[in-house]
Amino acid sequence: MHIVMIGTGYVGLVSGACFADFGHQVTCVDKDASKIDGLHQGRMPIWEPGLEAIVSHNVQRGRLTFTTELKPAIDTADAVFIAVGTPTRRGDGHADLTYVYAAAKEIAGALVKPAVIVTKSTVPVGTGDEIAKILKDNSAPEGTSVASNPEFLREGAAIRDFKIPDRIVVGAEDDHAREVLREIYRPLFLNKAPILFTGRRTAELIKYAANAFLATKISFINEIADLCEVVGGDVQEVARGIGLDNRIGPKFLHAGPGYGGSCFPKDTLALLQTGESYGVPMRIVGSVVAVNEERKNKMADRVREALGGTLQGKRIGVLGLTFKPNTDDMRDAPSLSLIAKLQEGGATVAAFDPVGIEAARPMLKDVDFTSDAYAAATDADALVLVTEWDEFRALDLKKLAGVMRGNALIDLRNVYEAGEVIRAGLDYRGIGVPAVTAA
């Protein structure tokens, strides 16, 4: 089938490349000429493991192309996916649908035959209805359908998630849209990937509900971690103890500095606003958002406490800047608020991230970006592990102790065990576990 993907960001590029890998003919369209030029030269606009290889392979096979011009691309399209950004709107927390609606209007003017218009972007309930209205008002061909097909891709594991999904959700109001999307995803039926057909509004809500629930698990275990620190419990053992209950499960029960990234922060806020708009307060989600925001803002206090109550004149090493490993995404990363608070307290900061430094530079001022973890630790009074990249899991702790000026290791991801840190001559502070001081 011929698929047009509007948007070559994280969702659009991964989805387009994977559809092409299934054997479909895919044209990715983006108004950003520099991004399209880069893709023509083999440069990826995002860092995602395996993406460059799958894009290159399908470009060489002639199944994947890139352009800034929608009209020529859409002439023979069976389905047009909208995969543009829906950032949080400034001032009120609503999802900004400007790009979605602009794409819908442009599609209507470019279509020469009926097609299925599919929202891949994360959008609030009722967005598909508005897209259908825009298409009709702008004289889209009779028989054009609108469907919702939310994405459930984890950054750092997006290609695997696309090809071996937990589920495929399709929201459609007519048989034609359902059959077109069934055919598009038919290659996954060999893996027996479950496909759920629902109404369009239900599909739109499934995406928000899923992300809000996962965010709830994170905020929940972070509050339990705070309680563990006061009463002498171990949050990792608590998480294991409750996660072995198959009604709960172990995923997203890892205490840390709070969630960030491109989805959870904006999607929880958008769900709150949707509830408010329809007169149905989302009280649990509201608490999740508040707990997470407070948590990110309090991480610098842990560093201050480890340094005897002051940050003034201290040098802090920070390991990991991106919101999670295996991505260069800095959106709402906990490191941003942590570093800002450290600097407000009078500290200087040296930081290292395996792939996120270039993305972090515009967001972090007066930070000494270093070439590796040991350089970030050199002359530091405290070292803070923020993002659990694999290369931070087996650092030479004695070497760290040797280059540091102080001896405080604040492990915000509980990567290390206290005993091995103490044996290296460093003080250890984790999340939801007892702090231990070297003799």
Digitized pLDDT (tens) for each residue of the chain, 439 residues in all: 999 999 999 999 999 999 999 999 999 999 999 999 999 999 999 999 999 999 999 999 999 999 999 999 999 999 999 999 999 988 788 999 999 999 999 999 999 999 999 999 999 999 999 999 999 999 999 999 999 999 999 999 999 999 999 999 999 999 999 999 999 999 998 778 899 999 999 999 999 999 999 999 999 999 999 999 999 999 999 999 999 999 999 999 999 999 999 899 999 999 999 999 999 999 999 999 999 999 999 999 999 999 999 999 999 999 999 999 999 999 999 999 999 999 999 999 999 999 999 999 999 999 999 999 999 999 999 999 999 999 999 999 999 999 999 999 999 999 999 999 999 999 999 999 988 887 6
In the chain, ranges of CATH 3.40.50.720 domains: 2-198, 199-439
Tell me the Cα Rg of the chain.
Answer: 24
Q: Is 228 a residue of the active site?
A: no
pLDDT of residue 439: 64
| Catalytic entry in 18, 28, 228, 263 | 263
The CATH number of the domain covering residues in 2-198: 3.40.50.720
* Per-residue pLDDT, 436: 87
Q: Report whether 328 contacts 355 (CB < 8 A).
A: yes
Query: 199-439: what fold?
Result: Rossmann fold (3.40.50)
Total-model pTM: 0.94
pLDDT the model gives residue 87? 92
